[in-house]
Structure 1
Amino acid sequence: MQYFREYYYKNHLGIPDMLFQREIGFIPFNGTMIRHKKFDSQNEIENFVRRAIPRHLYYSSSYYRFPDQHKMLEKEWLGAELIFDLDADHIEGADKMTYMEILAEVKKHTLRLLEMLMDDFGFEEKNIRLYFSGGRGYHVHVESDRIYTMDSDSRREIGDYIKIEGLNMEDLKLLDDSYFEYGILKKFNIYISNFYRNLDENYIKKVFPKSWWNYLEYLEKYYNGEKIRDFLSNEKGNKFKLLIKQNKSNENASIDYDRIILGKILEDFKSNALAEIDEPVTTDIHRLIRFPYSLHGKTGLMVKPVAIGELKTFNPLDEAIPDVFQGRDVKINLKIDKFSIEMNRQNYNIARGENSVPLYLAIFASAIDVADFI
């Protein structure tokens, strides 16, 4: 707690717009969430934080007429930003990853999300604020008149799109070709096209181990006047129309081929294109989100703004370490056999017992409960 106090006395918070219409909440070092606070200025909230020393500090993505009222109806909701929370909770296999591996994987999903928001939804970079969460991922805020008054159901539809929910072959085969000229279906068509332009026989052998050669021969047959492989290699048109056969001879065999391989490609596409977001965060129009430049109580790292163009090279373990935690060493007792991490462009490999380490590493190790201060 003493180091958090030092940080807040020497640093400023990043103040969201219309602070006086935001609900403020925090979790102290000893106790549970306290919320329904209201502050009118940066000076007022920073003075409060320096007295309270929160372990976690939040503000509402919503705007309220009376943010300090305790009942939601009495707050009088005026609108809300569109929020996306990306972290390890929804990443498959995250429980077997190191912290650094988790950060890298969540970054991939964040980049996918940003691409969809700008390319598919048409939001401009100026409408999007990106933050490292201070923990295991990123927060994305969309600020636009187009979304402020959206209800939870509308936000859920956006979340479903981001997670590529609801795509199935039975529905896809009935769509007109024009649906594949924009958005996620256009990207899917390009994915299918690239798959067949660069057909990998080893992949086909895995899908059809006993009939892979028959499938390659099937691709040389014709559909609507062109070879099936050429049809699938074309970036335009609805490929799932192959599931509706005009030629009744050998209908079942060909449909089985198409259904199996297109289903597999669809699943591959989803895993490579979707962004794993915490959808309840997106749909919640009363959500509290971490305060910019506050400290995350489970890492000691800053909730730091990140320029969208710099995300690919951004490394939280270098760039989210507070300056006030650098330049001095302290002693810790490591409670596990060994602990390895790269922080501040240095590799650390620490053994059980007493160790002298940089303060930022000591705070991080203590926060994740693998070490105690001595």
Structure 2
Amino acid sequence: MIGSKAVRAAFREYYFKQKLVEAPNNIEQREFGYAQFGIPGMVRHLSFKGAGELTATLVREVPSDVYCSNALYRFPTLPMQEKQWQGADLIFDIDGKDLHLSCVPSHSYPICSNCGHASPTLEKEYACPACGGKKADYVSIPCAKCIEGSKKEAARLVEFLSGDLGIAKENIRLYFSGNNGFHFHICDDSYRPLDSQARSDLVGYLAGVGLIAESVGVRRSPGSDLAFVKFPRSGLDYGWRKRVAETLDIGASSTIRLTNIVKEKGGYSAFKAELDRITRQMGVRIDPQVTTDVHRVFRLPGTLNSKSGLTKLRCDIARLESFDPFADACQLGSTKVKVKMKTHAKARLKGQTFNIAKEEAELPAFAAVYFMCKGLAEAA
């Protein structure tokens, strides 16, 4: 956990002046928690009566990270088994690291787990140059390709939620996570009663997992791996059926074409495996644990992320393409801060490029905090 006085001071200034923190609806039924600078663990089972009380706590405590439950409880301050769960908002998390983009190694830095030494490049077989340690934590400074990848995934999820599930776009709240991804909050009370299994089924649908071949008209012949085609009466004009039909270039009258495709693949089982590959590729890569956990505490919108010093910031879905998290979510001040760099590092923040090769540098607070939160610098 970052414990620098300079970082805490920048966070304090932000919360003192802040206008972006969003108090959730039904605030008195939520469980809150926060992490503290330099102290492991989290202060949990907190409750607030209103936005003013929440803000006062942020200013007084200056937390490194702030969380709020997606669940509603009758008694949010009691132990988990006594809270009396009343339902939970539906949430989704798209994390850039789960996209496994090819650019990541070029802007990742290994930090020795033993001594904290940072190295400039990702090593194939890591050995700390300072102490010889073999274990490292890897931090990444996301590049434009990383953000574009997360944006595409977010736009795809919006399409599924609005098109397949019929959720009104005004009920889909999209947020930059404050580091390298996006969070979705669904403001539709009809989803609150869903249990973990129902949410897991929903995640499977969105990820394209488990679509059966029969749903697009391919059926196994009894007692063999041969197949025959019989299209569903409801057609191929919506949801996954439509996506698969467009990919295979078939329609509700393409019996012969689909039969030939199945034969070319090698029969029912081979086609089913190909269908699974296609749907997984077209599905949305979301963190299933975030959505299925009905007791999760989730980063509070408008608060700072200690992994970057950036804000969890609400994004307009219609303007997602032009959203620049390294400008829009970079909300800290510009007071000069002296830092000692652990390694050569580069980042673009608020339209400025910081390419720091020298050991000591004086940077605006927003840039200094970013490098320190990443573990690539410390206060001089």
In the superposition, the TM-score normalised over structure 2's length comes to 0.78
Structure 1 counterpart of 2:117: none
- Equivalent in 357, 360, 364 of residue 354 of structure 1: 360
- State the Cα distance separating 1:75 from its structure 2 match: 1.0
CA distance in 2, matches of 1:44, 1:292: 16
Comparing 63-72 and 53-62, the one that deviates more: 63-72
- Equivalent in 292, 296, 311 of residue 283 of structure 1: 292
- State the Cα distance separating 1:305 from its structure 2 match: 0.7
CA distance in 2, matches of 1:239, 1:152: 42
Question: Are 1:16 and 2:24 matched, yes or no?
Answer: yes
Change in CA separation of 1:153 and 1:169 when aligned onto 2, cut-off 3 Å = same
Q: CA deviation digits over 1:302-344, x for unaligned, max 9?
A: 111111111111110010011x423x332211111x2122211
Kindly provide the amino acid, as one letter, of the partner of residue 159 in structure 2.
E
- State the Cα distance separating 1:184 from its structure 2 match: 1.7
Structure 1 counterpart of 2:91: 83
- State the Cα distance separating 1:269 from its structure 2 match: 5.3
CA distance in 1, matches of 2:236, 2:150: 28
Change in CA separation of 1:67 and 1:262 when aligned onto 2, cut-off 3 Å = closer
Corresponding pairs, count: 323
Percentage identity across paired residues of the two chains: 30
- State the Cα distance separating 1:79 from its structure 2 match: 1.0
Change in CA separation of 1:171 and 1:48 when aligned onto 2, cut-off 3 Å = same
Question: Are 1:2 and 2:9 matched, yes or no?
Answer: yes
Query: In 2, are the aligned partners of 1:180 and 1:237 still within 8 Å (CA)?
Result: no
Q: Which runs of 5+ in 2 are unaligned?
A: 1-7, 108-141, 220-229
Query: In 2, are the aligned partners of 1:242 and 1:255 still within 8 Å (CA)?
Result: no
Question: Are 1:96 and 2:105 matched, yes or no?
Answer: yes
- State the Cα distance separating 1:357 from its structure 2 match: 2.1
Question: Are 1:44 and 2:61 matched, yes or no?
Answer: no
- Equivalent in 321, 328, 337 of residue 330 of structure 1: 337
CA distance in 2, matches of 1:96, 1:83: 29
- Equivalent in 68, 74, 80 of residue 65 of structure 1: 74
Kindly provide the amino acid, as one letter, of the partner of residue 185 in structure 1.
R
Tell me which structure has the larger Cα radius of gyration. Answer: 1
Q: CA deviation digits over 1:183-206, x for unaligned, max 9?
A: 12211211222xxxxxxxxxxxxx
Query: How do 1:25-44 and structure 2 match up within 5 A?
Result: 25-29=33-37, 30-44=39-53
Structure 2 counterpart of 1:314: 323
Higher helix share: 1
Q: Which runs of 5+ in 1 are unaligned?
A: 194-231, 246-252
Query: In 1, are the aligned partners of 2:65 and 2:299 still within 8 Å (CA)?
Result: yes
CA distance in 2, matches of 1:81, 1:154: 13
Query: In 2, are the aligned partners of 1:109 and 1:274 still within 8 Å (CA)?
Result: no
- State the Cα distance separating 1:265 from its structure 2 match: 7.3
Kindly provide the amino acid, as one letter, of the partner of residue 183 in structure 1.
G
- State the Cα distance separating 1:182 from its structure 2 match: 1.1
CA distance in 2, matches of 1:11, 1:182: 44
Change in CA separation of 1:287 and 1:361 when aligned onto 2, cut-off 3 Å = same
Change in CA separation of 1:257 and 1:77 when aligned onto 2, cut-off 3 Å = closer
Change in CA separation of 1:236 and 1:134 when aligned onto 2, cut-off 3 Å = farther
Query: How do 1:1-374 and structure 2 match up within 5 A?
Result: 1-12=8-19, 13-29=21-37, 30-72=39-81, 74-93=82-101, 95-96=104-105, 98=107, 99-100=142-143, 101-167=145-211, 169=213, 172=216, 173-174=218-219, 176-177=231-232, 178=234, 180-193=236-249, 232=250, 234=251, 241-242=258-259, 254=264, 256=266, 267-268=277-278, 270-271=280-281, 273-322=282-331, 324-326=332-334, 328-336=335-343, 338-374=344-380
Indicate the SS of the match to 1:180: coil
Indicate the SS of the match to 2:77: coil
Indicate the SS of the match to 1:105: helix
CA distance in 2, matches of 1:348, 1:81: 39
CA distance in 1, matches of 2:252, 2:351: 44
Q: CA deviation digits over 1:262-314, x for unaligned, max 9?
A: 9557635532x211111011111111111111100110001111111111111
CA distance in 2, matches of 1:240, 1:4: 62
Query: In 2, are the aligned partners of 1:22 and 1:60 still within 8 Å (CA)?
Result: yes
- State the Cα distance separating 1:106 from its structure 2 match: 1.6
CA distance in 2, matches of 1:238, 1:19: 55
Q: CA deviation digits over 1:103-150, x for unaligned, max 9?
A: 221221111111100000000012111111111111001121320111
Query: In 1, are the aligned partners of 2:346 and 2:354 still within 8 Å (CA)?
Result: yes
Change in CA separation of 1:148 and 1:258 when aligned onto 2, cut-off 3 Å = closer
Change in CA separation of 1:254 and 1:183 when aligned onto 2, cut-off 3 Å = closer
